[in-house]
Copies of this chain bind each other. A is one copy, B any other.
Amino acid sequence: MSQTLQQMRLGLFIQAAGHHASGWRYPGAQSGSENIALIRNLTLAAERACLDMVFFGDKLVTSGKDHPSMIVRFEPLTLLGSLAAVTERIGLAATASTTYNEPYTVARQFGTLDHLSGGRAAWNVVTTGYDSAANFSRASHPKHDQRYAIAEEFVDVVRGLWDSFEDDAYVRNAETGVYLDVNKMHRLDHQGEHFDVAGPLNLTRSPQGHPVLIQAGSSGPGMALAARIAEVVFTAQQALDTAQDFYRELKREVVAQGRDPHHCLVMPGIMPIIGATPVEAQARFEQLQQWTDLDAALVLVSDRLGQDLSGFDLDQPLPDLPLPENMKSRAKLLLDMSHRDGLTLRQLCHLAAGARGHKILVGTPEQVADEMIAWFEGEAADGFNLMPSHFPEGLELFIDGVLPILRKRGLFRHAYEGRTLRDHLGLPRPAHRRWAGEP
């Protein structure tokens, strides 16, 4: 049993053209990157299935190395605003960068989303691994440690801004003429190394108090930030034992920060490839893999590992390589997988091109459920971030096949019990901070 929970948490990661690079070519697949009708339908299907949340990634730069199905995407906050209007219960999570945004703006956006959705917003805090300086009039992309130092301060500013108003400040008493109790409005007056933000935010405190904070860094500074502030941690894990190590280490750091480990949920990404029989599942997987463009995959893996691999033998395993300065943990994951499973570079390219480093579960609904349960009960995961290979079928096969098994085992909800994302996830509503001078 997971040390923290009786039931799994499940998010749906909605991405472009399916999470498998060739998912959009699968027979019957629809493409999601700029297809609002599909995105809305997937979100509604996830809500009918009572998943905890839908989640959107983000990227701020386009390079020639990008797979074309990953280049275009909607701006996530505007998109989530749209999804808030057509849903009632499911959580709405999006990525926003602490390197290329202003804390005042991010605080407004997620605070607004929390208001619009009645308390269902979540912010995935990222520092942006890819050098995006060229799109933001910056001379250079900050280095890894510097990005995390900025992120630490950025998050503190945002949380402070979310507490600009006490919960009962929004009075609107037409009789007395008091619209807002300005005595319950507080200035942050933050002056730090990276940001000076006076506040107050021009938004009252939102239904969740603070939108839920998600973090995905698995590096040292990433885990330190997660342990201090994250309420959900997305992670990419390939094997049960390393996932258990990560889980144990993170929960230990959470406790060291004086936090309840139940309030920092570990959710690895998984790509379920489901068939009625093991053979059908494997055939589906092979059909997806057949379209892999090896040249493009080699560029992708080279990019991930921070060096040109075109000189290496495709039919030999990679040697030990030095890790790149940026996105070190994603590179390490790929190298570890390669070495653990004795993959040739060709095999590594195929797998990386497919699931982009996340765990692929190929099998029947029972097999997929069993593996998820093994991770959940083995204290490797508090839940999962679902990354279907192609849409909508990949999601439907999971909802129709795997969820009933999890429910029968008492490991997933039959209906939402609460109204907010914090309710779904079992997270407390943060108390309003006491400002200096408050009685």
Contact = CB atoms under 8 A, between A and B. Distances in A.
Interface string A405-421: 00000000000000000
Contacts of A284: none
Contacts of A291: 177
A300 B368 CA distance: 64
Interface residues of A, number: 70
A293 B176 CA distance: 12
Interface string A179-210: 11010010000000011111110111000000
A29 interface: yes
Given A59-B202, A81-B82, A75 B170 contact: no
Given A104-B60, A135-B197, A197-B134, A109 B78 contact: yes
Interface in A123-180: 134-138, 165, 170, 172, 174, 177-180
Interface string A70-112: 0111110111111111100000000000001110110011011
A36 to B, nearest CB: 5
Contact of A174 (B24, B62, B75): B24
A204 B34 contact: yes
A322 interface: no
A1 interface: no
A69 interface: yes
Contacts of A174: 24-25, 29
A177 B75 contact: no
A114 to B, nearest CB: 10
B81 A135 contact: no
24 contacts: A25-B174, A29-B174, A34-B115, A34-B204, A40-B85, A61-B202, A68-B179, A72-B203, A72-B204, A73-B203, A74-B112, A75-B109, A77-B78, A78-B78, A78-B81, A79-B81, A79-B116, A81-B84, A81-B85, A101-B105, A102-B137, A104-B135, A137-B197, A138-B196
Interface of A: 17, 24-25, 29, 31, 34, 36, 40, 59-62, 64, 67-69, 71-75, 77-86, 100-102, 104-105, 108-109, 111-113, 115-116, 134-138, 165, 170, 172, 174, 177-180, 182, 185, 194-200, 202-204, 291, 293
